[in-house]
A = this chain, B = another copy of it.
């Protein structure tokens, strides 16, 4: 039973949801072993150290994010729709405790106590996300679909920060609605040609 990459994948999936719940120091090999139904030592077989596990997890997460964005761009040629699809994706995740936060955003809060290898991956995700949002805003402005006062870059940073802050507020209040309340006006404000 269990295909070749099955167990390692299950460990990563489990670790991911545990990180989303409590961050890097908020979970242990023992926690994973309970959920996956495997001994601690067996986890060390797949991932020699905790840093190995989390770094692998992050590399995979970033690949998934990149693939997700590529898919999103195929489905939605319009920049406005792309922004809506992005926030819509997270709005759908917010309700599910195992995916209600961006892993990189959560780890970013703990950067001062994180192993440097992990920090590298987290930084890379922020840069990639910011670059994509900047490109979307630039494209939207060129096509006359979006309008904003500052640079595309600063506007993208503001957008990203607001989305992350919205995740945080949803968690703080224990109210999923807050995410939509914050993110929906965010896009409407950028759409060109409103009163």
Contact = CB atoms under 8 A, between A and B. Distances in A.
Interface of A: 21-23, 25-26, 97, 101, 104-106, 108-113, 122-123, 126-127, 149-150, 154-155, 157-158, 160-166, 168-169, 171-174, 178, 181-182, 185-186, 188-189
A41 to B, nearest CB: 23
Contacts of A168: 105, 108-109, 161, 164-165, 168
Given A23-B25, A126-B172, A164-B168, 14 more contacts: A22-B25, A22-B112, A22-B113, A23-B109, A25-B26, A101-B109, A109-B168, A126-B169, A127-B173, A154-B185, A157-B169, A158-B182, A163-B165, A164-B169
Query: Do most interface residues of chain A lie in helix, strand or loop, or is the interface mixed?
Result: helix
Contacts of A126: 169, 172-173
Contacts of A181: 154, 157-158
A7 B29 CA distance: 36
Contact of A160 (B22, B157, B165, B171): B165
B157 A23 contact: no
Contacts of A189: 149, 189
A-B residue pairs, 5 tightest by C-beta: A161-B165, A22-B113, A165-B165, A108-B172, A25-B25
Interface centre among A158, A171, A181, A188 (most CB of B within 10 A): A158
